[in-house]
Amino acid sequence: MRMRLLRRRLSLSAPRVAIRSALPWPLRWLAAALVLGLCAAVALWAFEFGKSLAGLDAGARAELQRLRAEAVQLRADLQAQREQNLAAESVRMTEKAAMQGLAEQIKQLEADNRGLREDLGFFEKLIPSSRSGRALDIRGLQAEILGGGAQLRWQVLAIQPQRNAPEFNGRLELVLAGSFNGAAWSSQPPAVSQPIQFRQYRRAQGVLSLPPHTVVKTVTARLLEGDSVRALQTFDLPENHRP
């Protein structure tokens, strides 16, 4: 029996024995990856070296340098354009502020001009008129209908066109005349009756409420000293100023 087993092991029909490595699979994959990477690096180096020998890489490098130079120039142009835009915007804002300032100055000058005209008209009224001899006078009587006929605004300038005139101490009265419900009408008592005191001139003004259905056609202002009328003036309201 032993002899048979010995002959079988030594004969050609004896079973084969496989010898396997004890290296783990992860290390095998790592070694394979290193080998492949090394091969790829060698191949890339050989490719680049061949390109440099053939002169194919020179044109690409020159083109790359040109593109880089153009990119730098474009950045510089863009920065310059931004600076120009900022400067133009600053100039535009300055001009806008200057225009606004000029517009405000023009408005102020127009207001000053209107004030000067009013003052000029006021002082022109202070100049003695041809009706001389009158120590007391009424000038600048004005009236205007407001609120569709519900109110009347009035203004009176009373003067003593003499130097060193004595002080006047009396009363100012306003009498309105027109129609009420189609019939003749006048304000009785006077619509305005107030004390007035001045030496050279005095300006008085106010707003009156009118009775309903009243059409005012004339306004008469008078200065009284006691019961004596010292000065009198009547103002006719234009037709287009009546309600």
Together in a domain, 119 and 176: no
The answer on pLDDT for 33 being more than 60 is yes
Using DSSP's 3-state secondary structure scheme, residue 64 falls into helix
pLDDT digit string, tens, across residues 199-222: 888 889 999 999 888 899 999 999
Residues 86-111 have a mean pLDDT of 88
Sequence-separated (6 or more) residues with CB below 8 Å from residue 84: none
Sequence-separated (6 or more) residues with CB below 8 Å from residue 8: 14
DSSP letters, 129-155, are: -SSTT-SSEEEEEEEEEEGGGTEEEEE
* 173: in domain: yes
Where among 126, 148, 167 does a domain terminate? Answer: 126
Together in a domain, 104 and 177: no
- Mean pLDDT comparison of 2-11, 16-25, 119-128, 222-231, highest-scoring range: 222-231
What are the DSSP E strand ranges found in the chain? 137-146, 151-159, 168-180, 183-186, 192-198, 201-209, 214-225, 228-236
pLDDT digit string, tens, across residues 78-96: 898 899 888 888 888 888 8
Where among 97, 126, 155 does a domain terminate? Answer: 126
Together in a domain, 179 and 221: yes
Q: Residue 224: which domain range?
A: 137-241
Using DSSP's 3-state secondary structure scheme, residue 212 falls into coil
Going by pLDDT thresholds of 50, 70 and 90, the confidence category of residue 132 is very low
Together in a domain, 109 and 146: no
Where among 126, 153, 177 does a domain terminate? Answer: 126
